[in-house]
Amino acid sequence: MRYSGPVGHLAADCARVSGERVRHRFLPGKLAGVLGNHGACVIAEPGEVKVRGARTGEPAWDAV
């Protein structure tokens, strides 16, 4: 198979969650993740959410 186009890479890590916690003052101290695809899937989750079972790419309704 031959590749002939650009490749995109999304770095979905807990840095996005940290940014949202600074932006929204009610989030610090609460479990939070970042949703993408119009709120349909998890694109970033910090460690405290990962240990509870949420994973990147998982549908939001399963992560809840």
Annotate 13-57 with DSSP letters as a single string: SHHHHHHHHHHSTT-TTS---EEETTTTEEEE--HHHHTTT--TT
The one-digit pLDDT tens for each residue of the chain (64 residues) are 677 777 665 555 667 888 888 899 898 888 888 888 788 888 777 778 888 888 888 888 888 7
What is the residue range of 34's domain? 14-63
Q: What is the pTM of this model?
A: 0.59
Report the distance separating Cα 23 and Cα 6, nearest Å.
Answer: 32
Please indicate, yes or no, if residue 34 is contained in any of the structural domains.
Answer: yes
Count the domains in the chain: 1
Residue 9 falls inside a structural domain: no
